[in-house]
């Protein structure tokens, strides 16, 4: 199938349950549909980001009251990672609020990759923009995945960010892929974009030279004191439709319920899993926002007859 905007729009227009059934069938054909990948995100550096992304409370441009924190020590990162290992997390992702990793901090980042890898995790980082040399160094250190979301459509992007361009994000994703690091790339929905923007977003993902092996689908959290604090809430059915469309367009990729999952009810999550979401971030906090509790996640999976994927280190 060669996808274009018209064909993607036709997916979005399908009756809700017909769309979910199609997505479920695609999921069933490509994955064990009763398994969920558990991931976790360690926030290794908080706040003071020089970018002005209107959805982010870590931007230095907005007075959100978020406390700035410097880069976490290697020892603290390893300690947190060991706790995640006891939770059965398969992929450990480390994130820092930077435009691009500072040269003086980069050796510490490479050490973190090595030490996290030793614990048996799949490793992932999200550090902002990378150049060719940085990507190659991360690959040599053992990095498995790099997350860099394109967030929304190229048409809508400039209305929420002015300090960099949509193409800047595409360039980093391509740089990562060229370094033979697996691409984790998704979007943020509910920023005031239209369905047409969501369609254009997906086409941009499809047109990447290396399709993402992992696609986080984030739901907008309206942080106080940010430009998007009063944006209209995205209807839950539209969010679930977006999950289903992602599954159909990327049948072999992990589709992850990521930021904003705190606002999803158990029934909402069940529909997302049925529609093809097969990965979640676990832990009580996701970067700077609340997340579903680990206990509630396990209870929900048990109710649904879903099993966490057993990590390779077990």
CA–CA distance from 308 to each of 117, 126, 297 (Å)? 20, 24, 10
Query: Chain centroid to CA 211: how far?
Result: 14
Catalytic residue list contains 49: yes
Instruction: Clarify whether 256 is annotated catalytic.
Output: yes
39, 92, 124, 185: which is the annotated catalytic residue? 124
56 labelled catalytic: yes
Single out the catalytic residue among 247, 254, 256, 261: 256
HEC profile for the chain? Answer: CCCCHHHHHHHHHCCHHHHHHHHHHHHHHHCCCCEEEEEEEEEEEECCECCCCCCCCCECCCCCCCCCECCCCHHHHHHHHHHHHHCCCCEEEEEECCCCCCCCCHHHHHHHHHHHHHCCCEEEEECCCCCHHHHHHHHHHCCCEEECCCECCHHHHCCCCCCCCHHHHHHHHHHHHHCCCEEECCEEECCCCCHHHHHHHHHHHHCCCCCCCEEEEEECCCCCCCCCCCCCCCCHHHHHHHHHHHHHHCCCCEEEECCCHHHCCHHHHHHHHHCCCCEEECCCEECCEECCCHHHHHHHHHHHCCEECCCCCC
Per the annotation, the verdict on 185 as an active-site residue is no
| Residue 39 annotated to the active site | no
Q: Kindly name the residue from 39, 91, 92, 93 that is annotated as catalytic.
A: 93
Q: Is 106 exposed, middle or buried (0-12, 13-18, 19+ CB in 10 A)?
A: middle
Which residue is catalytic, options 92, 184, 185, 272?
Answer: 184
Identify the active-site residue in 39, 56, 185, 272.
56
Catalytic residue among 53, 92, 185, 272: 53
Residue with tokens 């410097």: 70
Q: Taking Cα atoms as reference points, which of 150, 131, 160 lies closest to residue 198?
A: 150
Q: Are 57 and 66 in contact (CB under 8 A)?
A: yes
Catalytic residues: 49, 53, 56, 93, 124, 184, 256
């Amino acid at each position: 199938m060669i996808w274009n905007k018209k064909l993607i729009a036709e997916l979005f227009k399908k009756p809700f349950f017909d769309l979910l059934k199609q997505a479920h069938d695609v999921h069933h054909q490509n994955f064990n549909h009763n398994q969920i990948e558990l991931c976790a995100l360690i926030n290794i550096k908080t706040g003071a980001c020089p970018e002005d992304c209107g959805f982010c409370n870590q931007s230095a441009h907005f007075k959100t009251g978020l406390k700035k924190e410097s880069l976490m020590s290697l020892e603290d990162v390893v300690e947190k990672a060991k706790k995640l290992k006891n939770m059965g997390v398969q992929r450990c992702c480390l994130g820092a609020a930077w435009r691009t990793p500072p040269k003086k901090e980069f050796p510490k980042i490479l050490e973190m990759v090595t030490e996290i890898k030793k614990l048996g995790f799949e490793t992932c980082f999200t550090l902002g923009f990378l150049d060719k040399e940085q990507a190659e160094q991360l690959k040599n250190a053992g990095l498995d995945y790099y997350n860099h979301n394109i967030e929304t459509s190229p048409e809508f992007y400039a209305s929420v960010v002015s300090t960099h361009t949509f193409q800047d994000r595409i360039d980093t994703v391509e740089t990562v892929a060229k370094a033979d690091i697996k691409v984790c790339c998704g979007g943020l929905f509910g920023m005031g974009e239209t369905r047409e923007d969501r369609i254009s977003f997906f086409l941009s993902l499809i047109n990447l030279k290396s399709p993402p092996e992992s696609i986080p689908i984030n739901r907008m959290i309206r942080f106080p004191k940010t430009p998007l604090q009063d944006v209209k809430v995205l209807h839950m059915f539209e969010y679930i439709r977006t999950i289903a469309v992602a599954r159909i367009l990327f049948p072999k990729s992990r589709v992850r319920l990521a930021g904003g999952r705190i606002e999803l009810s158990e029934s909402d999550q069940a529909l997302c899993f049925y529609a093809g979401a097969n990965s979640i971030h676990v832990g009580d906090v996701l970067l700077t926002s609340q997340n579903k509790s680990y206990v509630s996640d396990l209870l929900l999976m048990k109710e649904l007859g879903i099993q966490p994927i057993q990590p390779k280190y077990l």
